[in-house]
Amino acid sequence: MSWADRTRAGAYGAAACAAAYGSMKLAQALGANALADKDPLRPDLRERLLARDPLFVASHWVLAGAAVVGIIVALATTRPWRAPLPRRLLLTIAWTLGILMIVRSIGPLGIGFVSDALVLTGIDEPPPEHAALARDLALWDLLLWSPFFLLWGVCWALAAWRLGRDRPPPTIH
């Protein structure tokens, strides 16, 4: 597989990750658990999520819709029909999403590989009443969510890199 094919695969990977994430959020919006109990949230927010608080239900609908937009944007980075979409806008969106997802997976925001490792090794002690839950959620984040966001972020970065290297088609005046 050539480098160009691998970078094109980044756009398809970003679209596939968006589809998977959007499907999960749509399922949650419709009432399914779909890993909601594994979401690395503070205990008070987790209770609201699992109780189907209207704010969380609405956020699932918004995130499902955002995932559809993400699929379109990811595919637009490789397709000739991206012409109506400004190239700079696609580049900005793809780089921004890639960087944010990679940063989220690493963990300086309180969730991610670093934060999970700190909780699981006991260096960062959660409150005793939530310690077992915090370790369980850190393990899920370490094994599922952080790798997923890292993969998704790398795919967005590859899509952005490829789009940045593509020469825009000449404009006819």
Residue 29 pLDDT level (bands cut at 50, 70, 90): very high
Q: Would you state the pLDDT for residue 86?
A: 83
Output the 3-class SS for the chain.
CCHHHHHHHHHHHHHHHHHHHHHHHHHHHCCCCCCHHHCCCCHHHHHHHHCCCHHHHHHHHHHHHHHHHHHHHHHHCCCHHHCCCCHHHHHHHHHHHHHHHHHHHHCCCCCCHHHHHHHHCCCCCCCHHHHHHHHHHHHHHHHHHHHHHHHHHHHHHHHHHHHHHCCCCCCCC
pTM of the model: 0.87
Measured distance CA(59)–CA(28) in Å, rounded: 10
Residue 7 pLDDT level (bands cut at 50, 70, 90): low
Q: Would you state the pLDDT for residue 66?
A: 97
Residue located via tokens 């397709």 = 79
Reference 137, options 116, 113, 106; nearest CA is 116
Average pLDDT of the chain, as a whole number: 88
Residue 110 pLDDT level (bands cut at 50, 70, 90): confident
Asked if residue 5 has pLDDT above 70, the reply is no
Q: Would you state the pLDDT for residue 120?
A: 93
Measured distance CA(28)–CA(8) in Å, rounded: 31
Residue 172 pLDDT level (bands cut at 50, 70, 90): low
Higher pLDDT among residues 6 and 144, named by residue: 144
Residue 167 pLDDT level (bands cut at 50, 70, 90): low
Residue located via tokens 């993400």 = 70
Q: Would you state the pLDDT for residue 41?
A: 81
Q: Give the CA distances from residue 63 to residues 7, 9, 47, 66, 168, in Å, rounded to whole numbers and listed in that order.
A: 26, 23, 19, 5, 31
Residue-wise pLDDT for 30-58, tens only, equals 999 888 888 888 888 888 888 999 999 99
Q: Would you state the pLDDT for residue 37?
A: 87
How large is the average pLDDT for residues 126-143? 90
Tokens of 139: 């393990």
